[in-house]
Chains A and B, each alone.
Chain A
Amino acid sequence: SQQGEEDPQALSIQEGENATMNCSYKTSINNLQWYRQNSGRGLVHLILIRSNEREKHSGRLRVTLDTSKKSSSLLITASRAADTASYFCATEHGGATNKLIFGTGTLLAVQP
């Protein structure tokens, strides 16, 4: 399986703290994406970073990509209780089918 790995599997922090989660993958990519899933809901796209980019920002989110290490990190700054969710990385690899391979996810709990 090409499935990516996420680290940590679970993370618990206090409101206002930063949360960092990591994703590793196995083969070269076109892009890497992060999604959020609230309990019992579908996934929601957060941010996409292409293989020729190293860092990207969107609001309180910062994503980095190191293609030499085949890894990415997602930083959520000044976390809020509403950020409590599971976060998944997904990678797109070659071809024109727009297929994504999802990681196993990080469960983030932000304590008020």
Chain B
Amino acid sequence: DAGITQSPRHKVTETGTPVTLRCHQTENHRYMYWYRQDPGHGLRLIHYSYGVKDTDKGEVSDGYSVSRSKTEDFLLTLESATSSQTSVYFCAITGGDEPDTQYFGPGTRLTVL
């Protein structure tokens, strides 16, 4: 998975609790992305980052925040998880020799009860 790890890989939490997902890369790539994948919707972009402390919203950013204090780490936070945020979350990076191609992490399956 191109030097990308996600943690945790699985998480079950309760409505209203805060949750933070971590994406870590060893490629020193500039761009990092968070997606969610739901049946019938494909992948939808939540937030992305184009450098340390530089982030922007994607298509489905409501209820999510992100932070990037180091090149290698991109954190996704659900401030108060809701059942509609039950999903599989993927991190991706791009850059290097193929700047248009995204490389994906293994995903985090989040269940909000």
Contact = CB atoms under 8 A, between A and B. Distances in A.
Given A43-B90, A48-B100, A103 B42 contact: yes
B42 A105 contact: yes
Give the size range of B's interface with the partner: 20 to 34
A104 B41 contact: yes
Contacts of B31: 97-98
B50 A97 contact: yes
Interface of B: prevailing SS? strand
A34 B31 CA distance: 19
A63 B50 CA distance: 29
A15 B107 CA distance: 29
Interface of B: 1, 4, 31, 33, 35, 40-45, 48, 50, 56, 58-59, 90, 92, 94, 98-107
14 contacts: A30-B100, A33-B100, A41-B106, A42-B1, A42-B4, A43-B92, A45-B102, A45-B103, A48-B101, A92-B100, A98-B99, A99-B45, A102-B35, A102-B43
